[in-house]
Amino acid sequence: MKKYLTIPGLLGLLCGCTTITRTPAVRVAPPSAKAEWSVSAKDDSSLLSDTITLYVNGTRVAAGTANPFRHSVHLTGSHEQHAILGDCNIVGAPRTSLASTGAYQCTVYIDGSKVTRLTF
């Protein structure tokens, strides 16, 4: 009976494990904004998916989920009436594999202008 209880317990522990990775804040000067902004990202990784969140000046502006079948995610949002786009993918992920190991790289655009690339 102990064997039958141990297996579901281990599976529950594996599925519940998450890893949170944050980038340091990067100061950017968008051409269309009047002041510098602080841009950062966070990755909440679990066994079957990764949730990527973009922040501007500490405020959540966009989020999206990548999974083993899709190694990239496109994030859209806005901050102070400026359009924010994050084009994120896993660096070096094979196109035809379920492997999703490696770092994420997000290119961040504000009002269509590339302002930074975050790697985490």
Chain segment 69-94, per-residue pLDDT in tens: 777 899 999 999 999 999 999 887 65
Judge contact between 76 and 63, C-beta under 8 A: no
pTM of this structure: 0.77
Residues in a beta bridge with 42: 22, 53
| Burial track 50-80 (b if 16+ CB lie within 10 A, e otherwise) | bbbbbbbeeeebbbbebeeeebebebebebe
pLDDT in tens, 52-75: 999 999 999 999 998 767 778 999
